[in-house]
Structure 1
Amino acid sequence: MGRNIWGCWQSVFSTPVLYGSLALFTSILHNVFLLYYVETFVSIYKIDKVSFWVGEAVFLIWNSLNDPLFGWLSDRAFLNSPQSGSQITAPEVVLKRLNALSTNGPLFALSFLGFWVAWARPSLQFLLCLCVYDGFLTMVDLHHSALLADLAVSATDRTRLNFHCSVFSALGAFSVFLSYSVWDKENFYYFRLFCVSLAAFSILGFFFVSRLLQHRFKKEIHPKQDEASSLKELCVGSAPLTQSEKPVTVGQYLRQLSKHTNFMWFVSMNLIQVFHCHFNSNFFPLFLEHLLSDSISASTGSILLGISYIAPHLNNLYFLTLCQRYGVYQVIRWLFMLKLGLSVVMLLAGADHIYLLCIFIASNRVFTEGTCKLLKLVISDLVDEDFVVNRRQQATSALLFGMVALLTKPGQTFAPLIGTWLLCVYTGYDIFEKQSVSAPDVASSSGNPPLRLGCFYILVSVPITCALLQLAAWSRFTLHGRKLQGIKNLRQGAQHSHFVDVKAI
């Protein structure tokens, strides 16, 4: 009886479930951060425009550099050939990542709390909170994403892991529903309590789930490691070959990456995708206020907001089944075309079709975020190609994810800067001076269109521009179809030559 109960628990809390649950502890905090941090500093702490732009500029630099920096610190040992004859094994890589998650996850949750209490001058607090929060978020995201490439090689196994991430990310998006009910710029107390509760839940989750995964991995992998050690002693002839190789320097790695054509086309497309995702998140409340507030109730706005955060994860479950059938490349291409088509239809329909506008505002974010959820699978494929083409001893998953972030994270900073600039230039409305200007009356003595119409044109023109640029870049990406399958076969063949199979977890 006891064994049956234990077996039931083992099946419920399988490795994919535990891996996916780590996404829950990140998403419940990060969704709230994306939605409210700009509004908090602008409307509540009254940060001035210069401090906001300076803070975002410094954050742009830090946000871009910390990913490859932390990735290099994490994976630099994997670029060096073993000098003592002892090779780093795949299980040791996984355990190292889990140990990093058990430490940095709780610290990430604590850094989240720094935004919601005024403890310094707004300019200083804005800069420090953004940099500290993003530093720990980067560590968590790098190691969690790298595990996707380290735990599995086949598209089926990676899709299964990503499937569970989508399920738990959808659950984490419910924090948006709850946050909207306690968000009040005049009385911040209940929102602060809500954020403390989310952070406490996230701290406990990161600690216990990562420790449980470590325990399970060690328990199931140690017998295979003992067997590997015995076999390794018999493989005397293979050691001298590896010892003659030299470590890969930073310069050599960057030169290798610059020749990785698929990597360069992917980051070009992904830079635009990151910009569009954060543009939608940062300006979603603004579009609701100026395009729909006179036509829908507050509860309807709350539902739209919640759906826009939950539906991408639920949609991703369907997208992943399509990926298994048609491939990730084709599904992403269809999503770009869908984004372009919906935006053109909305532009032709105009701003007066309220129900169509509601559907478009929600679906624009749903399909844009849905695309983002699939990109980790593409980066994992790039990890495989890098491993095969450069004949690495161990895949540098975290480092490659970090290099992708180096070139694409600037889109996260460009989104609020370009968005506020477009709004000011096109409508004459400055969100930093909205206390002195009556927003509905901002029309155009200077030739600018009214605020509502300006918001509408910005809403539809941004996705049209992004979709066209992304389709152009994505058409040059060749890591799909037979070429991708060939790369995976070569990496799986290389991994089978190692003594311990990662997927034993």
Structure 2
Amino acid sequence: MTLKQRMLAYCATSFGFSVLSSVFGFYYVKVFLNYYKIEEGWFQFAQMLYLVWNTLNDPLFAYFQDKANFRLTKTRREAILYTAPLFSLSFILTWFPWAQGTWVTGLHLITALCLYDTFYTFIGLAHCCLFTEISSDPKIRLQLTQWSNVTALLSSCSVFICEFTSDSLRSFPAFQFTAVLLAIVSAIMMTYTGLYAHTEQDLKSMDDNSTKPETSPDMSVWRLTWQILSERNFISFVVVNFIQSFLGTFKSNFLAIICDELIPDDVVSLSLRKTFYGSLNITTSVIVIFGVPLVQNIGYSKTIRWSFIWKICSGLILFVLGRQYVVIMMMFVLLDSAFAGAARCLFNIPLADIADHDLEKYKRKHHMTSMVFGTNALIVKPAQSLCPMLTVAILNRYGYEVHKAGKLDTEAIDNLKDTMFLLLCGYSIVLGCIQLLSWSLYVLRPRLYKKDSI
């Protein structure tokens, strides 16, 4: 099997994984808050349990994938092959309500979040490790990023499709039917990866008829984790990634809620609004695909740094102008989401470089890729729970829960909209400054890109 064929197999999971994660992230908060009528107490409790499970499962699965020699974890591709159907089923479970506004709704959210995250983490770790282990050539890794974003461009249409088939969730049965179809397509694509995405180590093992190499017996999960956490570049990166995950969760979960309030119906038509929501993920992939030559010229480190500078400056400009400039606000949301998503698409490259550095520094026999990615997720994943908890608490503090029931007066509604606008700008400005400072401490430099291509 050629390198190109293995890269295409990797991209199949990029497509299937992005299909489900885009729809899940964009809709689950809105569905549970506005359609299932979950109480805030149950919502916060579910997010807290989700945070705990999110924190525990990443290092657990990472160590399991790197150390265990079961059939399920023998190779990265087999980890995806056997769990892909379960991932799709956990996705479908979210969109069929058990009840409305009771403790059963809270139990539904807890079950949906934990099951979804279990398979999301397991497949996501294997997929990230494939990125590092398919090739150690930095140019091929950059090409792999570009290729996977071509497939992500196609998969990002999943939100666009859901918006139009369900008329922005006004026809919930149509949304459910669309979600089931997307889950089936996703499972098929990830199964293809599971069959054909061989790494260099897989091919050697097939030739030698050997099993996964083992680390030395004294390498416990605690020692491996400490070795990774003691690396300065890793700490600098995970601080940046934590904030990026927090902002990404905010944009994914709350943009539809906030924009519905801040963008009047008489200014922006329903069809244009649906197109706007559907294009948020599409623009990210377009920027990555056509921005690869820029990354090759100036490097991913400078590219990521400039994305933070953009985030801070654009947030300041929008804050100064105010929320009355609806078109400018929509442009800010679109471009900010696109640039933030594009920067995050590059994050696998520094993580792969950190894994390479770890291999050389500790003279290991093979990459501890799952442990590097899993330890990163251990720190970063809680942001996916902290963001909804904090944001919902702030919005309800200013009357959002009362507003959903139509019992908020005009002045209170105006204060709520000001709060939403402040969150939109403030998150970008404040958190962008922290990211820029932390990223300045990242000193690991990648090898130069080769002139040859595959």
TM-score by length of 2: 0.90
Residue in structure 1 matching 2:17, options 11, 23, 26: 26
- Would you say the 8 A contact 1:262–1:477 is kept in 2? yes
Match status 1:196 vs 2:187: no
Please give the per-residue CA displacement for 1:17-66, whole angstroms capped at 9, x wherever unaligned: 22112111111111111111112112222211111110000000111211
1:454 offset after TM fit, Å? 2.3
1:332 offset after TM fit, Å? 0.2
Residue in structure 2 matching 1:50, options 41, 45, 67: 41
* Matching of residues 262-411 of structure 1 within 5 Å: 262-294=233-265, 295-411=267-383
* Matching of residues 480-499 of structure 1 within 5 Å: 480=445, 484-485=446-447
Match status 1:170 vs 2:153: yes
Instruction: Give the direction of change, closer, same or farther, for the CA distance of 1:283–1:391 in structure 2 (3 Å limit).
Output: same
Residue in structure 1 matching 2:117, options 129, 134, 137: 134
Distance, in Å, in 1 between the alignment partners of 2:381 and 2:231 is 19
SS of the aligned residue for 1:469 comes to: helix
Distance, in Å, in 2 between the alignment partners of 1:244 and 1:193 is 46
Instruction: Give the direction of change, closer, same or farther, for the CA distance of 1:485–1:203 in structure 2 (3 Å limit).
Output: closer
- Would you say the 8 A contact 2:311–2:336 is kept in 1? yes
One-letter amino acid matched to 2:426: S
Distance, in Å, in 1 between the alignment partners of 2:215 and 2:152 is 46
1:422 offset after TM fit, Å? 2.5
SS of the aligned residue for 1:327 comes to: helix
Question: For this pair of structures, how many residues does the alignment match?
Answer: 442
- Would you say the 8 A contact 1:315–1:370 is kept in 2? yes
Structure number with bigger Rg: 1
Match status 1:225 vs 2:207: yes
Please give the per-residue CA displacement for 1:472-495, whole angstroms capped at 9, x wherever unaligned: 111111112xxx339x99xxxxxx
- Would you say the 8 A contact 1:75–1:399 is kept in 2? yes
Residue in structure 1 matching 2:94, options 93, 115, 118: 115
- Would you say the 8 A contact 1:95–1:217 is kept in 2? no
SS of the aligned residue for 2:399 comes to: coil
One-letter amino acid matched to 2:55: S
1:439 offset after TM fit, Å? 5.1
Unaligned runs of 5+ in 2: none
Distance, in Å, in 2 between the alignment partners of 1:259 and 1:223 is 32
Unaligned runs of 5+ in 1: 1-9, 79-91, 230-241, 490-504
Instruction: Give the direction of change, closer, same or farther, for the CA distance of 1:93–1:137 in structure 2 (3 Å limit).
Output: closer
1:442 offset after TM fit, Å? 4.7
1:350 offset after TM fit, Å? 1.6
* Matching of residues 94-105 of structure 1 within 5 Å: 96-105=75-84
User: Would you identify which runs of 4 or more consecutive aligned residues in structure 1 move more than 6 Å?
Assistant: 10-13, 92-95
Distance, in Å, in 2 between the alignment partners of 1:274 and 1:47 is 24
One-letter amino acid matched to 1:44: Y
Distance, in Å, in 2 between the alignment partners of 1:293 and 1:388 is 56
One-letter amino acid matched to 1:174: C
One-letter amino acid matched to 1:356: I
- Would you say the 8 A contact 1:146–1:398 is kept in 2? yes
One-letter amino acid matched to 1:115: T
Match status 1:416 vs 2:388: yes
Instruction: Give the direction of change, closer, same or farther, for the CA distance of 1:175–1:407 in structure 2 (3 Å limit).
Output: same
- Would you say the 8 A contact 2:225–2:371 is kept in 1? no
Residue in structure 2 matching 1:458, options 423, 427, 450: 423
- Would you say the 8 A contact 2:283–2:338 is kept in 1? yes
Residue in structure 1 matching 2:410, options 430, 441, 446: 441
Distance, in Å, in 2 between the alignment partners of 1:330 and 1:244 is 35
Instruction: Give the direction of change, closer, same or farther, for the CA distance of 1:249–1:189 in structure 2 (3 Å limit).
Output: same
Instruction: Give the direction of change, closer, same or farther, for the CA distance of 1:166–1:210 in structure 2 (3 Å limit).
Output: same
Distance, in Å, in 1 between the alignment partners of 2:192 and 2:253 is 32
Distance, in Å, in 2 between the alignment partners of 1:11 and 1:69 is 33
One-letter amino acid matched to 1:208: Y
- Would you say the 8 A contact 2:400–2:416 is kept in 1? no
1:245 offset after TM fit, Å? 5.8
SS of the aligned residue for 1:400 comes to: helix
